[in-house]
Structure 1
């Protein structure tokens, strides 16, 4: 589909990958970009329309779908990493990850599916991760929430096909954001994630493998389990 002239909604749009998505949409000619954020008064990015949207509050999700009833692209980017290590720590962060990463994506997708249908089909983009496929003992609940989000994305792709909605899953390894600032590994620039996703929308491609890590792990899914296990 064409991005030029489109109307987009981006959740978690105030920083990191969400802000990069918003900027890329404007740069590609989107007529309007609603920036879904929990504190609209703090959003200062030029060109964006603040939209009150905590994806865990269903009343806000419903209100956002009414406000952005002209949307043709919806980007589910809001996500957190807050869970404990595998064998210790409180489960509260893990529950929060599922609420935001999985159930939040589901709620937004459900609310905006009829909006996209009414506007010709459009595109639904879910920001996933290589963690959707690869086990992680340091961040097990985050990986589990992303696995659930990937499964949901596949279900949405089937369910929304008839209404003409392109469903895009975006996978990447480490991205250079505030959340990964203290992790000393090679990282992808958020702008690269956004650029490759914009290309996929234009080309009607259902999956984006942003970096070598995503491509390698995706290719290994049909092989032995040790091919997708991290080395540390």
Structure 2
């Protein structure tokens, strides 16, 4: 059992498939008492409900809607850990048709979605001395041309995650930024990445990172290569205190 997860109440956005579904299973295995499945389509969690029974609760939620996320937060005031996993990733080069519309869409979900979740849950997580986990990507640190707008949207969400670490950290909230490489999901396939890490390995790395209390999590082999190269910059710049 993971001491940081045992008996805790978890909220997972985008919980119905891919990394989100793997997080649900892993965290329940690690002793979580309940997981709220925050999804756009409430019919999409039937398999998880059949498997875990009353240990999971499905709630309709859409990270692209401020009203929807505020309503989610109002229904889950017992949350100890909020994992903002919901995101979009469409193949889109920088020089391409409809690039502006695509970039706006990805920012709306990947960056503004984080802002909505963080603001809606700030009071609950402060009260419960909780944890906010944001699913970012190694693409937040390096732009991949075939998914250029996705990379840029994740760079924005990573920057916001750093700001949240400072602001929410002062209130006793732990903020964690997760940076997977290619993962074997539908999103990974659509982006042109074959194979990739398993969703289960990413979920287990997130659970371990929460227990360790680290800010950056690099869950797979490719991500660890990036993390190793990034370590000095992270320690001396990203995590450094420039207030003095």
Same fold (TM over 0.5): yes
Q: Deviations over 1:93-116 (max 9, x none)?
A: 211100000000111011101111
- Cross-structure match for 2:95: 87
Give the CA deviation at 1:184: 5.0
- Cross-structure match for 2:223: 214
Q: Select 2:164's aligned residue among 124, 146, 156.
A: 156
Length, aligned pairs only? 222
Contact 1:133 1:218 in 2 (8 A): no
RMSD over aligned Cα, in angstroms? 1.6
- Cross-structure match for 2:241: none
Contact 1:85 1:140 in 2 (8 A): yes
Mean CA deviation greater in 52-61 or 77-86:
77-86
Q: Distance in 1 between matches of 2:86 and 2:160?
A: 15
Q: Select 2:105's aligned residue among 96, 99, 106.
A: 96
Give the CA deviation at 1:220: 3.2
Contact 2:13 2:39 in 1 (8 A): yes
- Cross-structure match for 1:228: none
Q: Select 2:37's aligned residue among 35, 38, 42.
A: 35
Q: Distance in 2 between matches of 1:172 and 1:21?
A: 14
SS at match of 2:111: helix
Give the CA deviation at 1:42: 2.9
Q: Select 2:188's aligned residue among 161, 165, 180.
A: 180
Q: Distance in 1 between matches of 2:181 and 2:157?
A: 16
TM-score, normalisation: structure 1: 0.91
Q: Distance in 1 between matches of 2:8 and 2:205?
A: 18
Contact 2:184 2:194 in 1 (8 A): no
Contact 1:7 1:72 in 2 (8 A): yes
Contact 2:61 2:69 in 1 (8 A): yes
- Cross-structure match for 1:7: 9
Q: How does 1:42-53 map to 2 (within 5 A)?
A: 42-44=44-46, 45-46=48-49, 47=52, 48-53=56-61
Q: Distance in 2 between matches of 1:31 and 1:200?
A: 19
Q: Distance in 2 between matches of 1:23 and 1:193?
A: 12
In the alignment, is residue 26 of structure 1 matched against residue 28 of structure 2? yes
Which is richer in helix? 2
Q: Distance in 2 between matches of 1:82 and 1:210?
A: 22
Q: Which runs of structure 1 show a deviation greater than 6 angstroms over 4 or more consecutive aligned residues?
A: none
Mean CA deviation greater in 165-174 or 184-193:
184-193
Structure 1 unaligned runs (5+)? Answer: 224-232
Mean CA deviation greater in 203-212 or 27-36:
203-212
- Cross-structure match for 1:227: none
